[in-house]
Amino acid sequence: MNALTKPANATDARRAARSHILTPRLETPFHPRLAALDEVNDWYNWAGYKAPHALFDEELEYFAIRSTAALFDISPMVKYRIAGADAERYLNRLTLRDVRKLPVGRVHYTAWCDDDGHVLDDGTLFRLGEQEFRLCCQERHLSWLLDSAFGFTVEIHEETEAIAGVALQGPTSYAVLAEAGFAGVERLKPFDIATFAHDGGTVTISRTGFTGDLGYELFVPRQTALSLWDRLWTAGDGHGIRAIGYAALNRTRIEAGFIVANADFVTAEGALRADRVRLPDEIGLDWLVDPDKPNFNGRRAVLDARRNQTLRHVLVGLEIEGNVPAEHAIVYHRGKREAGLVTAAIWSPTAKRNIAIASLTRPYGTRFVDDLWVEIYAMRELKYQKMMKRAKIVPRPFVKLARRTATPPGLR
């Protein structure tokens, strides 16, 4: 080894040591199409995947959802296939809702807790067969799912990488599917699932979404993802179809009053402090809890908290005066005593209101519901301006669209 090779090898060693930083994020099956449409190079990390925060303009992408049709890549959403003789019994033990009431060909929104009743995550459960399910969620839980399966005859595996998913949302979304040749999709009611032919195989279409609008989610094997995108894109040419990023989707989910794990609440596995975890009733998920079904994880803790009135938090919708979004603003009672924190906020173009989702510490939000204020810091010409704005508790969703549930949907 000569003197000239040592520095080079040392450099290579240093580069290898930090290769975890240089390694590109995973690319979804739809990434080639998204990259071709990207104009702003605004990407973020979603569960290890490269995902667009925006593709061309956040405002226009929002209006594509509310005015025409929008395609959003949901492939990074964590997906588990759960099957076996005890699949129903296992999921009924794991989750809050009664899985026995979920028919084949339907989806329901659910959540699951640790033994102390603290929410681990929320997501959607697809019943694909009598004993075959797909669980979709925000965080990875394979170890927890496998540990919880002790004593059950069930197989669980992650299929995030193998299954591509895309959300088609907006008032012309049904028109796009009809144009694409998915005959019979008009019969799907909200939370229905159906299978259609595509590219020598099948595509599973559910009437679901995260926008509070008319919409669908489509799932295919990874190898037929691009042909599905092209089929939808071609069909949507006359219906105003656009590809969108998360920023636009996030606006619509706030309008719909939907919550996001580790944004509106901290998951039990992700919490570093004991006071950050939440029971279902503390984040507006009390309606998911079925106290009449057999035992489920956290059942005793959830029902004891109700009976003993030891719930500490409440998630509420707020309408705030003015038009400056109050994201991460502190909520005060009578302008003096801290009552909680805003977890998500926007000026809603559809509702024409300044809206927010906030986590309040009881009794604020339950006994004390009036004289609430938010402290907003707005940047004005390189200087923060402090504003105290009145807030009032209002029902969620902030935006409720009749087309979301209309069956058959209109073609627009």
* Binding residue positions: 217
DSSP string, 370-412: SSEEEEEEEE-SSSEEEEEEEEEEE-S-S---GGGT-SSPP--
Q: Count Cβ atoms within 10 A of the Cβ of residue 167 and give its class: 0-12 exposed, 13-18 middle, 19 or more buried.
A: buried
- Listed in sequence order, the residues at least 6 apart from 264 whose beta carbon sits closer than 8 Å to its beta carbon are 283, 315, 343, 344, 357, 359
Cα 213 to Cα 375: distance, rounded to the nearest angstrom? 31
Cα 288 to Cα 266: distance, rounded to the nearest angstrom? 18
- Listed in sequence order, the residues at least 6 apart from 304 whose beta carbon sits closer than 8 Å to its beta carbon are 310
DSSP E strands, 19-144? 42-46, 49-54, 69-73, 78-83, 106-113, 119-129, 132-137
Say how many C-beta atoms besides its own lie within 10 A of residue 151's C-beta.
10
Q: What angle do CA 76, 81, 82 make, to 5 degrees?
A: 145
Question: Where would I find the H helices in 68-172?
Answer: 87-94, 142-148
Instruction: Report which DSSP code applies to 223.
Output: G
SS3 96: coil
The binding site for substrate consists of 217
Looking up tokens 């944004």 gives: 263
SS3 343: strand
Cα 276 to Cα 293: distance, rounded to the nearest angstrom? 28
Cα 265 to Cα 242: distance, rounded to the nearest angstrom? 31
3-state helix, strand, coil in the chain (%, to 5): 25, 35, 40
